[in-house]
């Protein structure tokens, strides 16, 4: 038993959309605990409430029952310590890649004041971050001049430039082709190994979950709750070659069986 308080804690959370009476129960009795610095993945059948979970943790949707806490504080409204990346592109088309990555620094205190005082230092930091994801030389390009994979690399940089304590990723690579997606697993893992932010990845790609996460949580069909939690005991850094080895494949199959059972129950 560890006495440490989880960084993200959901305790018997329910959320009903659409108000009293005729509402839809999206999640019910949802329990989840994620440690500081942990990489967690949440998988489950379509419509199981994975996105609802994201909204609950970031304070976008208030729980109808139960409690949500992040960093020891009860979540009562939108969190300020979060970086986010989604499947959708959110790079501003009228800004260069570098200027897109700098955006959060123009908004979030205390970075905003520091950014005004020491712009050059922060620009260097953004350039260095872009270089670590393989985008050196693309700082001056506009999003429409980048491939989808490059745009998502830049989005990850933007989500991390203000060093958020929590990174929320909602199907971030779902719109990419398989090769690009697998390449970006490596990019994301490298960023995490250096920075060790707490991360919640929502995905329907089980290989992606096993490749990236310390812990994979399986959600049931609606109303969603966590029905299984698997620790992924694979050494890091994980590699694509490693994803074809028996233990990796067994982990993926185990998760698949669990989700198949959840779908059958629905």
Partner 1 sequence: MSTILRAEGVTRVLPGPQPVTLVRDIDFALSPGEFVAVTGPSGSGKSSLLYLLGLLDRPTEGRISIEGRDTAAMSENELAATRLARLGFVFQFHFLLPEFTTLDNLLIPMRRLGRWDEAEREDRARALLASLGMDEAAGKLPEQLSGGMRQRAAIARALANDPALLLADEPTGNLDTRNARTVFDIFERLVADEHRSVIVVTHDQEQAARAPRQVRLVDGRIVHDSARD
Q: Taking the complex as a whole, how short is the minimal distance between the CB of residue 136 and partner 1, in angstroms?
A: 18
Kindly write out the interface string for residues 231-250 of this chain, putting x where it contacts partner 1 by CB under 8 A and - elsewhere: --------------------
Contact status: 62 vs partner 1 (CB under 8 A): no
Contact status: 96 vs partner 1 (CB under 8 A): yes
Contact status: 83 vs partner 1 (CB under 8 A): yes
From 65, 73, 74, 107, residue interacting with partner 1 (rule: CB under 8 A)? 107
Backbone angles phi, psi at 32, to 5 degrees: -155, 135
Nearer to partner 1, 92 or 193 (CB): 92
Nearer to partner 1, 142 or 180 (CB): 142
Q: Taking the complex as a whole, how short is the minimal distance between the CB of residue 199 and partner 1, in angstroms?
A: 14
Omega before residue 86 within 30° of 0, cis: no
Q: Rounded to 5 degrees, what angle do the CA atoms 247, 250, 251 make?
A: 90
Residue 138 is given by DSSP the state: -
Give the Cα separation of 67 and 63 in Å (integer): 7
Give the Cα separation of 141 and 151 in Å (integer): 11
User: What's the CA dihedral at 42, 173, 199, 81 to 10 degrees?
Assistant: -120
Buried b or exposed e, range 57-93, using 16+ CB within 10 angstroms: bbbebebbebebbbbeeebeeebebbbbbbeebebee
Could you give the 3-state DSSP secondary structure of residue 97?
A: helix
Considering only residues 153-192, where is the footprint of partner 1 by CB under 8 A?
Answer: 159
Q: Taking the complex as a whole, how short is the minimal distance between the CB of residue 251 and partner 1, in angstroms?
A: 31
Contact status: 49 vs partner 1 (CB under 8 A): no
Within 13 Å of residue 166, how many CA atoms lie on the same side as its CB? Answer: 23
Contact status: 151 vs partner 1 (CB under 8 A): no
Size of the site for partner 1 (CB under 8 A): 27
Nearer to partner 1, 51 or 203 (CB): 51
Q: Taking the complex as a whole, how short is the minimal distance between the CB of residue 151 and partner 1, in angstroms?
A: 12
From 24, 88, 147, 229, residue interacting with partner 1 (rule: CB under 8 A)? 88
Site of interaction with partner 1 (CB under 8 A): 55, 58, 60, 78, 82-84, 86, 88-96, 99, 103-104, 106-107, 112, 140, 142, 144, 159
């Amino acid at each position: 038993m560890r006495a440490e308080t989880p960084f993200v804690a959901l305790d018997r959370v329910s959320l009903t959309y659409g108000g009293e009476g005729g509402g839809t129960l999206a999640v019910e009795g949802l329990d989840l605990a994620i440690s500081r610095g942990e990489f967690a993945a949440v998988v489950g059948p379509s419509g199981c409430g994975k996105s609802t979970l994201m909204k609950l943790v970031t304070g976008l949707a208030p729980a109808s029952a139960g409690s949500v806490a992040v960093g020891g504080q009860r979540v009562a409204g939108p969190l300020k310590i979060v970086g986010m990346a989604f499947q959708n592109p959110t790079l501003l088309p009228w800004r260069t890649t570098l200027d897109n990555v700098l955006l959060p620094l123009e908004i979030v205190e205390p970075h905003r004041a520091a950014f005004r005082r020491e712009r050059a230092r922060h620009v260097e930091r953004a350039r260095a971050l872009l270089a670590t994801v393989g985008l050196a030389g693309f700082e001056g390009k506009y999003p429409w001049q980048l491939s989808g994979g490059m745009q998502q690399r830049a989005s990850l940089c933007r989500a991390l430039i203000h060093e958020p304590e929590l990174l929320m990723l909602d199907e971030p690579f779902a719109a990419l082709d398989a090769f690009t997606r697998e390449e970006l697993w490596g990019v994301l893992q490298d960023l995490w190994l250096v920075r060790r932010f707490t991360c919640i990845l929502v995905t329907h790609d089980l290989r992606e979950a096993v490749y990236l996460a310390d812990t994979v949580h399986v959600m049931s069909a609606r109303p969603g709750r966590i029905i299984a939690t698997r620790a992924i005991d694979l050494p890091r850094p994980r590699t694509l070659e490693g994803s074809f080895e028996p233990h990796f494949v067994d982990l993926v199959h185990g998760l698949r069986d669990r989700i198949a059972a959840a779908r059958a129950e629905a």
